[in-house]
Chains A and B, each alone.
Chain A
Amino acid sequence: MPSVEVRAEWPGRVAEVHVGAGDRVAAEQELITIESMKMLTPVPSPAAGTVHAVAVAIDDFVDEGAVLVTITT
């Protein structure tokens, strides 16, 4: 099954994790919330699928390009 790596588009702190491994997700569903520039910014799923792995935990600092979640579609 093809998998999609969802990456951080900007640096920030992981404020909320909305999904766990094995969860079914819809396209555009919010997976992670990153706090950056004092804004809680949703990271939506690029496609419908199943969460294969969540690579981050709350309060982790992530750089731009860091893998957050892997989705199998």
Chain B
Amino acid sequence: MVWEPEIGELERRRQLAYEMGGEDRVTRHHDNGRLTIRERLERLVDAGTFRERGVLAGRAQYEDGRLAGFSPSNYVMGIAKLAGRRVVVGGDDFTVRGGAADGAVGGKAGHAERMARELRVPIVRLVDGTGGGGSVRTIENIGRTYVPGNPSWDTMVGMMAEVPVVAAAMGSVAGIGAARVAASHFSLMVKGTAQLFVAGPPVVARGIGREIDREELGGSHIHARKSGAVDNAVESEAEAFAQIRRFLSYMPQNAWHVPPACPADDPADRREEALLSLIPRDRRRPYDVRALLDLVLDRGSFFEIGRSFGPSQVTGVARLGGRVVGVLANDPTKIGGSLDGPASDKLEKHVDLCDTFNLPIVNFVDQPGFMLGAAAEEQGTIKRGVRALAAVYQARVPWATVIVRRAYGVAGAGHQNHARWNYRVAWPSGDWGSLPIEGGVLAAYRREIEASPDPARRQAEIEEQLSALRSPFRTAESFNIEEIIDPRDTRPLLCEWTEAAYEMLPTIAGPKQRGMRP
């Protein structure tokens, strides 16, 4: 065996890499309730499928030309199978220099990104590190400062239009680490053990003189609720891996393909009686929109994305007859289901996601309009709202609309692109207009009402006259709503529509002219 010494050396170096930051640091990491990056990758992907790239990369010390010490790269990555499908996976090793990005060695993270893009397969980033900010030491190492350039950003932006990108914050992530989480199609963070921020507490204290702890600064209550930087907060690392696997099960490998079908285990002709009583007759009473979704979509197939951010808008993915669809709905228990700034951002992102990866969209509409009031104006509701409407109008995937109750105003009108053909039906509870009668009468008939000897009575009379014209059947007479259906038929009809949508879907697959932004 000519090369035996080198094979021995190879094995020895691999073992050094597997030791990560050393026993003490690994124990400390475990004691903090966290798995190491190697354990995480093992649990995420199918058993025995992980093929590592770059195990030998690291920083070595030599004595008399012999390897005397080795600190492995703190970015571990490779290619694997996840639910039988090829994916690129990678993540930071917190036990080596706290996962700081400059400890990755030789641009390993960028290599993983380019591998996913070239192979056109999804990438999963398990982020557990900081950015260059944790590495002022670099200045000492290279003997100079440097003009910053975000590594691989061109690839990461391009990938948003091409392959599914999933990112999970697994610890405190800052700087470029936080950016790598936010620049994704689906992101999550582990409650309590993960925080995300532009810069961590010491830098905040220096920068703006405010002492604040990690959780208060960037815990899941901030990012999965208020900022929308992260879609889902999960209870444990195990739940993070389960959600990543679940999300990817609805995605195609890339934008050139349609989503994978599942055997349909729920009959397409299931007609649920409960749908007849779900919407209260009193228009001012809310109902449980998720109960509606469960009755119509394939049983147990609805996977909600970003539930706590902009909660009046519900977004998720599901199956109809085994075929993947993107789901939009309004939750009347949150600001009446209206569209405010956060809800608009969420709608925009979800429509873009579905359009990028060829998911037909089903929109269950009960939309009273944009959120009103000074706070909503300050949020930039109209600016963020028109971006969401632009996304609706730019989408090219098949679109189905079920108006379950209200469709009012500019936001209500945004339930679909009216210049396209869409499959649209309404339930008998349908109620629509530019302005609701209750609020609009005084404005439209002011002179007549004020001239009346009993203005309040005159207003009530006009409201009553107009309400008599409110029946959705009158709208259907003019074909302004194409069909009013028995709510029990919603599932059978949508299953048929989805089947038709998937017949045309391959003809529009491929990156869209408009690339998606994170």
Contacting A38 at CB < 8 Å: which of B334, B371, B373, B436?
B436
CA of A10 to CA of B335, assembled, Å: 6
**Chain A residues within 8 Å of B368, by CB:** 37-39
**A41 adjacent to B375 (CB under 8 Å):** no
Q: Give chain B interface residues in 426-466, CB to chain A under 8 Å.
A: 436, 438-439
**B286 adjacent to A36 (CB under 8 Å):** no
- Mask: chain A, 21-52; 1 = CB below 8 Å from B; 0 = not: 00000000000000111111110000000000
Which of A39, A40, A42 neighbours the largest number of chain B CB atoms within 10 Å of its CB? A39
**A36 adjacent to B335 (CB under 8 Å):** yes
Q: Whole-angstrom distance from the CB of A39 to the nearest CB of chain B?
A: 3
**A37 adjacent to B335 (CB under 8 Å):** yes
**B336 adjacent to A37 (CB under 8 Å):** yes
Which of B332, B335, B337, B375 neighbours the largest number of chain A CB atoms within 10 Å of its CB? B335
Residue ID in chain A nearest B438 by CB atoms: A38
**Chain A residues within 8 Å of B283, by CB:** 38
- Mask: chain B, 258-289; 1 = CB below 8 Å from A; 0 = not: 00000000000000000000000011111000
Q: How many residues of A contact B (CB 8 A)?
A: 13
Residue ID in chain A nearest B436 by CB atoms: A38
**A37 adjacent to B333 (CB under 8 Å):** no
- Mask: chain B, 364-395; 1 = CB below 8 Å from A; 0 = not: 00001101110100000000000000000000
Contacting A64 at CB < 8 Å: which of B369, B375, B436?
B375
Please give the residue numbers on chain B whose beta carbons come within 8 Å of chain A beta carbons, in ascending order. 282-286, 332-338, 368-369, 371-373, 375, 436, 438-439
Q: Whole-angstrom distance from the CB of A52 to the nearest CB of chain B?
A: 24
**A40 adjacent to B285 (CB under 8 Å):** yes
**B284 adjacent to A40 (CB under 8 Å):** yes
CA of A37 to CA of B337, assembled, Å: 8
**B284 adjacent to A63 (CB under 8 Å):** no
Please give the residue numbers on chain A whose beta carbons come within 8 Å of chain B beta carbons, in ascending order. 9-11, 35-42, 63-64
**Chain B residues within 8 Å of A42, by CB:** 286, 333
Q: Whole-angstrom distance from the CB of A10 to the nearest CB of chain B?
A: 5
Residue ID in chain A nearest B369 by CB atoms: A37
**Chain B residues within 8 Å of A10, by CB:** 334-335, 371
**Chain B residues within 8 Å of A35, by CB:** 284
Taking A41-B286, A42-B286 as contacts, is the C-beta distance between A36 and B336 under 8 angstroms?
Answer: yes
Q: Whole-angstrom distance from the CB of A45 to the nearest CB of chain B?
A: 15
CA of A36 to CA of B314, assembled, Å: 18
CA of A35 to CA of B283, assembled, Å: 12
CA of A9 to CA of B334, assembled, Å: 8
**Chain B residues within 8 Å of A11, by CB:** 373, 375
**Chain A residues within 8 Å of B285, by CB:** 39-40
**B375 adjacent to A39 (CB under 8 Å):** no
CA of A56 to CA of B334, assembled, Å: 20
Taking A11-B373, A63-B375 as contacts, is the C-beta distance between A39 and B286 under 8 angstroms?
Answer: yes
CA of A11 to CA of B376, assembled, Å: 10
Residue ID in chain B nearest A39 by CB atoms: B336
Q: Whole-angstrom distance from the CB of A31 to the nearest CB of chain B?
A: 14
CA of A9 to CA of B225, assembled, Å: 12
Given contact pairs A11-B373, A37-B337, A40-B286, a sample of 6 additional A-B residue pairs in the complex whose CB atoms are under 8 Å apart: A9-B335, A11-B375, A39-B336, A39-B368, A41-B335, A42-B333
**B373 adjacent to A39 (CB under 8 Å):** no
**Chain A residues within 8 Å of B332, by CB:** 39, 41
**Chain A residues within 8 Å of B369, by CB:** 37
The 7 closest A-B pairs by CB, nearest first: A37-B336, A39-B336, A10-B335, A40-B284, A37-B338, A37-B368, A11-B373
**Chain A residues within 8 Å of B333, by CB:** 39, 41-42
**Chain B residues within 8 Å of A37, by CB:** 335-338, 368-369, 371-372
**Chain A residues within 8 Å of B371, by CB:** 10, 37
Residue ID in chain A nearest B333 by CB atoms: A41
**B336 adjacent to A41 (CB under 8 Å):** yes
